[in-house]
Structure 1
Amino acid sequence: MQATLFPFARATPARAFDGQGVKGGSPHHEIIRGFFPIAMRILLLLVAFIFPLASQALAAHGISLDGTLKYPADFKGFDYTSADAKPGGTLNLHAIGGFDKMNPFTLKGSHPDLLSPLVFEHLMVQSMDEPFSQYGLLAQSVEVAGDGLSVTFHLDPEARFSDESPVTAEDVQFSLEVLQSDKAHPFHQSYWRDIVAAEVLSPRSIRFKFRQANRELPLIAGEIPVLSRAFFAKHPFGAEKEMIAPLGTGPYVVEEFSPGKIVTYRRNPKYWGNKRPVNRGLYSFERIVLKFYKDPVVALEGFKAGEFDFMHENNSKQWARDYEGPKFVQKLIKKETLGHKRGAGMQGLIFNLRRPFFQDIRVRKAMVLAFDFEWSNDNLFHGQYTRSTSYFSNSEMAAQGAPPPEELALLEPLRDKLDPAVFGPVQAPPSTTPPHGLRQNLKEAAKLLKEAGWTLGPDKILTDGKGNRLEIEMLLATPAFERILAPYAANLEKLGIALKYRTVDTSLYQSRVHDFDYDMIVNGFGQSQSPGNEQRDMWHSESALIKGSHNRIGIQDPAVDALVEKIIYAKTRQELVTACRALDRVLLAGHYLVPNWHLNYHRIAYWDRFARPATAPLYYQPEDWLLSWWMK
């Protein structure tokens, strides 16, 4: 499943440390400070499903992994919300970059942050304190067929769009059809590809039929955002010629906006879902104003000057040095860390395999060896980070040691397609902690490059003898990562590799990332505790050829494809864990990126104007829980 509470808030990568951000990609994963999901923001809320044994399923208020739900049918609200929340006030927030469209479901352009979670809603909603549960939102109840080949949703009769028109099963059918079409972002086509039909049973009931039984599909169907057929009949989807405020069912409407500068969301006084238990204590702010900044350093100064209210900090240097001053001493601004239980996935400096020089694993290995994490953590990050050693870091999906028999059962049939390293113990990223050292790592890297046919030219840049030089550009969305790349570039220079890093405008960055027009970028691959269909968008050969997909590396490997399918169609939790660990081994052995780092807590600061629930969720991003806060 996707690793986000609001799967379509923004097509971006997972939240990136240390300060680097990206706009463009998938509902998973890849973000800078501000509000994102897609891809891309990464709240790691987890969902999976075990099919009922009965041949005829009964309508239920929710679905879960083991058939049990924390919250009963008559529950009043989630524990991480509060009945004491009172409406009113304005929440001022910020984002980096800009926006040039008002449709969050298409590929081209950039939509304003928060547009999807505040304006559009889904059939079901994920709980932030359970790993594998969904509860009805637009859907009042859900029925999963006993054979696992279909799911039926019954809409709440009170559900309305913001123009007060009723939400119908035809709207839901239209939503699936348009999101599966080539008019939508390619992620949607991939994510819902196994839903083969949407059958309208009545004005408020719809059945989705599946290509084959898949324990995730009922919950994946519940994540479909519901769009208005009538609205898009007047304003054709994907062909918008002007920026028009969208029509959704959510708690807010777009009150006004100035492209690239500011957008104001106003609480809908006639919002249909105020009484739904999944919404108790949420959306209390009368207005949410989102201000856009071009530079994160300027944004931080704006925060301290009171231009907006809340910061989720991803830059360790700024956290250690810049969150101080009279307003912090006077407790006007609060600074704190919030623990969480979510997995970390993987962030790294990724190699684009579409570039010929990165198709040689020896070049990739050499560049991994040249990065000195320990020096960076001590001198740049104030010792705050843990090195990521898995594509499923901080979760049970991470491979460990040598592959046990159950993993070998998946890997052995693929042996002729795999690097022999896959069958040995998982290797940690190169270290410079004694007895290792940078000098030793660079000597090993130089040897690999020589074996790959690269020799030093007269200008001390490696050449392959065919006129090709090992000159690489790292594309950045903000300058915050430059301080990390400077010492790395210096290490590469000792090997004869010229690494140049370039920070470009956010819109240009997004366009180039969508088109795979880069040598290297900083990219995050967020993961949930129940990986599934989204793995196809990140690793499968098919997605490598689809512009805008999350296969940013460009992996086209039949062994990876086979293991992705094993994940998607795993029938039990143990099968899923085994398949993920096997895939993890294969990805790690490929040396497709320079592994970065992660935290097991969130760093936040906010003006002391808010009250909040006594209990925090477990699997969340702070921005998502912020929607449960209210003004004092």
Structure 2
Amino acid sequence: MMQTRARARARAHATTAPQTWRLFLISLFALGLAVAATMVRAESQETIIESHGISSFGELKYEADFPHFDYVNPDAPKGGTFSTWAFGTFDSLTPYILKGNAAALSTIFYDTLMTGNLDEPDSMYGLVAHTVEYPESREWVIFHMRPEAMFRDGSPVTAEDVVFTFNTLLEKGQPAYRVALKDFQTVEALDPHTVKFTFNPEGPLRELLMTAGGLPILSKAYYDEVDFTESSLEPPMGSGEYELLSVDPGRSVSYKRRDDYWAKDLPVNVGQNNFDEIKIEYFADYTTAFEAFKAGAYLFREEYQSKIWATGYDFPAIDKGWVKQEVLDDGRPAGTQGFWFNLRRETFQDPRVREALGMVFNFEWSNESLFYGTYERTNSFWENSDVLQAEGMPSEDELALLEPLRGQIPESVFTEEAFVPPTSSASDLGDRKTLRAAGRLLEEAGWEVGDDGLRRKDGKVLSVEILNDAPGFDRIINPYVDNLKRLGVEAKMTRVDNAEASEREKVFDFDVTVRRYAMSSTPGDELRSIFGSESATVDGSANIAGIADPAIDSLIDTIAKAESREALTTAVHALDRVMRANHYWVPQWYKGSHTIAYFDVFGRPYGDTPPPYGMGEVSIWWWDADKAQALEAAGAF
């Protein structure tokens, strides 16, 4: 399988440490698993919850005195280097602004109030904050911060820094922050180490506590002297465990572990962050990156090209046992990789057009001819999740959510099973049956074939440009373009470099592009940034398709405000069903596993089954000095 830009970015972040900045979640009391202290304030009779952690539905696994997460090796040795690769280029170490292309893992400089883990889908535990306090109504939260928390320069991390961070991200950060933080009413420093967030009572309160806990903490003193809005290759001031070691713009970036990191002995960090150095090498294409791996230019590679996985791993380092090749389970939803239509373009506003164009992507032919039968077709936005993926006809509980939207959503939602892309011939790229069905849909939409074989409506030719910055993806896009031409579409693929593609996507200057979203196992308010109307016209937003549909907004709101996991699951099924019926994308493929290769210099705390929410190769693996010495003696490096 080919790794898209977004997939590369998602993997680079998702496998290094829990994505606390994405866990837009909230907690209740811990249902006996990790009991949070409660008290009742006499003046209001309002129950206040105090806890060492927060989760969506109170399902904390770890008690207040837990020594470390279960999946780590608390005695893991420190040292050595973890190196991997990234696609494209970078020109900045500033990850929270729209300007520039930030380097992979550049969020590593920053600590957060709370942090997640690879064991639970929606829980966070204290990092800069040691405890949280909030009412059952969830309309506010107070974080009690650790006085020992320090920035890299030795200055304390204070509540004023948290307030500054919120205001700065809201006013000067990526435009998407204005969507994510819109239901924050006030952020106050109650004292130097206590900060209070107050939320809109009508907002998605289950989510907002987690959003607050996952914000990176910026240094106010540092940005009093430095312009936050300008991209820079100077290392920013953070309080995280890693600082910049070296940077070669566009080519490589290295981070080094800080010996003086203030939180290295906290339970949430025990057995983690074991490498002295983390290095990312950049390459402009996948083939060059693979050849560099074979030569030992970097040590770890997750393989996304099925052809290389099937035919390329026969080089000497494999034969000599220097490089290990493995397939590990991936317990997360597979995500939503596909060709995304830009709904801001008039051409793609008719769902019949989108469905027709999607039908002629022949996955079955691609899987057999290009992918060595490695993959399965993606159907759902929560593919590979038996719990969250909609199937069959809507249930009674789903209908209770869908009926009020009748007339605003496709009627097929009520009359047909959840949409699944049609199956085409694996032996015939231009499956005539599928092409005829797609042609009928275009004719219904008013796109008629002219004498020159092209489809027109109101004198305008039906044209589609697919944006591509990955040379290895040509072999997948070109057959799709051929089928679109058979359908009478004036189709083409436009190849650009990674920097141009990133800039064009920021301002939505494309017809169709490829993207993958790594969907949460506990979806919530983050869906507004991906599929909500508020983000549709915000430059640089994650809503790449420009979805702006009140019915979708309503279902997202229901998901964000769900008060039980059962209610959440029902609402996700309904949203999945409606979005699939709207044909916003052409789903591609997935596999529920990690295909990895690495030089045998690492240790890890598990065998063939990693934690359910990530391999943790950067966060919980470690450098095995004996293995490394043996490979060096054998001439592997």
TM surpasses 0.5: yes
Q: CA deviation at 1:254?
A: 0.8
- The answer on 1:211 being equivalent to 2:200 is yes
CA distance in structure 1 between the aligned counterparts of 2:294 and 2:3, rounded to whole angstroms: 21
CA distance in structure 1 between the aligned counterparts of 2:564 and 2:469, rounded to whole angstroms: 40
Instruction: Mark the CA change 1:47 to 1:470 in structure 2 (over 3 Å): closer, same or farther.
Output: closer
- The answer on 1:355 being equivalent to 2:345 is yes
- 1:627 is matched with which residue: 601, 612, 619? 619
Q: Deviations over 1:155-203 (max 9, x none)?
A: 112111111111101111111111111x101222222222211121111
2:628 is matched with which residue?
none
Q: CA deviation at 1:135?
A: 0.8
Q: CA deviation at 1:528?
A: 0.8
- 1:198 is matched with which residue: 180, 187, 200? 187
- 2:324 is matched with which residue: 314, 325, 334? 334
Instruction: Mark the CA change 1:43 to 1:132 in structure 2 (over 3 Å): closer, same or farther.
Output: closer
1:22 is matched with which residue?
5
- The answer on 1:580 being equivalent to 2:575 is no
Are 1:34 and 1:311, in contact at CA under 8 Å, matched by a contact in 2? Answer: no
Counterpart residue type for residue 288 of structure 2: V
Q: The residue matched to 2:50 in structure 1 has which SS? A: coil
- 2:288 is matched with which residue: 298, 301, 316? 298
Deviates more, 1:508-517 or 1:482-491: 482-491
Are 2:14 and 2:614, in contact at CA under 8 Å, matched by a contact in 1? Answer: no
Counterpart residue type for residue 64 of structure 1: S
- 2:595 is matched with which residue: 600, 603, 614? 603
CA distance in structure 1 between the aligned counterparts of 2:538 and 2:497, rounded to whole angstroms: 23
2:447 is matched with which residue?
454
Are 1:46 and 1:529, in contact at CA under 8 Å, matched by a contact in 2? Answer: no
Are 2:285 and 2:472, in contact at CA under 8 Å, matched by a contact in 1? Answer: no
Q: The residue matched to 2:366 in structure 1 has which SS? A: helix
- The answer on 1:35 being equivalent to 2:12 is yes
Q: CA deviation at 1:544?
A: 0.8
1:368 is matched with which residue?
358
1:97 is matched with which residue?
88
1:279 is matched with which residue?
269
Q: Deviations over 1:351-404 (max 9, x none)?
A: 111122111222112112212111111111111112111112222222222112
2:393 is matched with which residue?
402
Aligned 1:218-617 pairs, distance under 5 A? 218-239=209-230, 242-395=232-385, 396-424=387-415, 425-432=417-424, 438-466=431-459, 468-614=460-606, 617=610
Q: The residue matched to 2:418 in structure 1 has which SS? A: coil
Are 2:398 and 2:574, in contact at CA under 8 Å, matched by a contact in 1? Answer: yes
Are 1:69 and 1:133, in contact at CA under 8 Å, matched by a contact in 2? Answer: yes
Q: The residue matched to 2:558 in structure 1 has which SS? A: helix
Deviates more, 1:221-230 or 1:193-202: 193-202
Q: CA deviation at 1:43?
A: 10
Q: CA deviation at 1:45?
A: 8.5
CA distance in structure 2 between the aligned counterparts of 1:275 and 1:402, rounded to whole angstroms: 51
CA distance in structure 2 between the aligned counterparts of 1:288 and 1:211, rounded to whole angstroms: 40
CA distance in structure 1 between the aligned counterparts of 2:591 and 2:283, rounded to whole angstroms: 25
Counterpart residue type for residue 518 of structure 1: F
2:630 is matched with which residue?
none
Scaled by the length of structure 2, what TM-score is found? 0.90
Q: The residue matched to 2:514 in structure 1 has which SS? A: strand
Q: Deviations over 1:534-573 (max 9, x none)?
A: 1111112221111111111112212112112111222222
Scaled by the length of structure 1, what TM-score is found? 0.91
Instruction: Mark the CA change 1:434 to 1:266 in structure 2 (over 3 Å): closer, same or farther.
Output: closer
The percentage of aligned residue pairs carrying the same residue is: 40
2:631 is matched with which residue?
none
CA distance in structure 2 between the aligned counterparts of 1:65 and 1:363, rounded to whole angstroms: 39
Q: The residue matched to 2:552 in structure 1 has which SS? A: helix
- The answer on 1:71 being equivalent to 2:48 is no
Q: Deviations over 1:95-114 (max 9, x none)?
A: 11221122110012111111
Are 2:93 and 2:234, in contact at CA under 8 Å, matched by a contact in 1? Answer: yes
Are 1:343 and 1:393, in contact at CA under 8 Å, matched by a contact in 2? Answer: yes
Instruction: Mark the CA change 1:568 to 1:221 in structure 2 (over 3 Å): closer, same or farther.
Output: same
Q: Deviations over 1:80-122 (max 9, x none)?
A: 2112311222222221122112211001211111110x21111
Counterpart residue type for residue 480 of structure 1: G
Deviates more, 1:84-93 or 1:365-374: 84-93
Show structure 2 runs of 5+ residues with no match.
30-37, 40-45, 625-637
CA distance in structure 2 between the aligned counterparts of 1:83 and 1:209, rounded to whole angstroms: 37
Q: The residue matched to 1:151 in structure 2 has which SS? A: strand
- 1:144 is matched with which residue: 130, 134, 139? 134
Q: CA deviation at 1:463?
A: 2.1
Deviates more, 1:212-221 or 1:366-375: 212-221
Show structure 1 runs of 5+ residues with no match.
1-17, 24-29
CA distance in structure 1 between the aligned counterparts of 2:116 and 2:469, rounded to whole angstroms: 31
1:88 is matched with which residue?
79
